[in-house]
Amino acid sequence: MEYKVVEDIKIVCKLLNINEAELANLIGIDKQTITRVVQGKTLLSQVYLENFYDFVSKRNIELNKIKEMSYRENCINDKKLLFHGSKTEIIGDLSVEKSKDSNDFGKGFYLGETLEQSINFIEGFANSNVYIIEFNPSNLKFKKFDVTNEWMLTVAFYRKKLTKYKENAVLKRIINEIESVDYIIAPIADNKMFKIIDDFINGELTDEQCKHSLASMNLGMQFVFKTQNSLKHLTLLEKIYVSESERRQSRINKERNSKLSDDKVSIAKIQYRGKGKYIGELL
């Protein structure tokens, strides 16, 4: 899947009230090249792709957010717009087998609800991409998690932290449910969140302290597609380019939100100290 560069060039020229030759001059390429790109006779090189999209970002044109809004407006009849951040790019057919079995819910194809979530995931990788995907949930079985004990235990299990409890009846029931559905909706658990879950598993936090600490971080929800059949309900709409300027802004936003989350987590640990149960009491 190629970027929709031709459409983007036309949009940017319209928004800035300039022609293609003027745009070429502003991003440092000759006008013959940009003419050939618009005519579909050639593709922009990686260097010029970065030049173009970095220029767009620095002109405060939030092109990718505009696309997100536009696609949402056209997403109807119970269909849902989702986003996949890829550290490289999607090659070939979608497959649940291409992922690691130590992810939050084991092997699966993972998507987020917003563009911002996906950019946060790939902001540290220079050749990364974000895919805009339409999901049709018709006739699929799913399980939804909130920030609960069940969710915490599940993530810990799939991340290989509950090996000694693998025969526990509670865990077996949860895992059997997960393996019987097509997709899962659940809170996102990043590495910082998993550190909190790890403290819970190691008996340093009660379930109440853990739940309220995790809820304070509020990273949004993820959709995890567990079966090949569920992947047939996904339609790739567009691969979007994320410039270094956008990734840098994402890092700034993440750092700002991280400080707020850390403070909220510290307060939650104090407020719920001594309340709830430890892991050994639950399992």
d(CA 267, CA 261): 10
User: Could you tell me if 130 and 64 are in contact, meaning their C-beta atoms sit under 8 angstroms apart?
Assistant: yes
Choose the weakest-confidence range: 7-11, 251-255, 270-274, 276-280: 251-255
* pLDDT at position 235 over 90: yes
Task: Give per-residue burial for 9-28: e unless 16+ CB within 10 Å, then b.
Answer: bebbbeeeeeebeebbeebe
Which of these, 270, 177, 15, lies nearest to 26 by C-alpha position? Answer: 15
Please report which confidence band the pLDDT of residue 237 belongs to, taking 50, 70 and 90 as the band edges: very high
pLDDT at 75: 87
The percent of residues above 90 in pLDDT, for the chain, comes to 41
Q: pLDDT tens digit string along 247-270?
A: 888 888 877 777 777 787 788 888
* DSSP sequence for 209-234: HHHHHHHHH---EEEEE-SHHHHTTE
Mean pLDDT of 178-193: 87
Q: How far is CA 80 from the centre of its chain?
A: 14
Q: Taking 90 as the threshold, does the pLDDT of residue 159 lie above it? A: no
Q: What is the pLDDT of residues 17-52, one digit of tens each?
A: 999 999 999 998 888 888 998 888 888 888 989 999
pLDDT, tens only, 96-111 = 888 888 888 999 999 9
How many Cα atoms sit within 13 Å of 206 on the Cβ side? Answer: 13
User: Which residues have a Cβ under 8 Å from the Cβ of 199 and sit 6 or more positions away?
Assistant: 205, 210
| Domains within the chain, CATH numbers bracketed | 1-61 (1.10.260.40), 80-282 (no CATH)
- pLDDT tens track for 213-224: 887 776 789 999
Residue 168 has pLDDT above 90, yes or no: no
Residue 113 and residue 221: Cα distance in Å, rounded? Answer: 6
Q: At 11, is the pLDDT very low, low, confident or very high (cuts 50, 70, 90)?
A: very high
Question: Which pLDDT value is given to residue 133?
Answer: 97
Burial 149-186, CB ≥16 within 10 A → b, else e: bbbbbbbbbbbebbeebeeeeebeebbeebeebbbbbb
% of the chain exceeding 70 in pLDDT: 100
User: pLDDT confidence of 242, banded at 50, 70, 90?
Assistant: very high
Largest CA distance in the chain: 71
Query: What confidence score (pLDDT) does residue 56 get?
Result: 93
Mean pLDDT of all residues in the chain?
89
**pLDDT tens sequence across 52-111:** 999 999 999 999 999 999 999 998 888 999 999 998 889 888 988 888 888 889 999 999
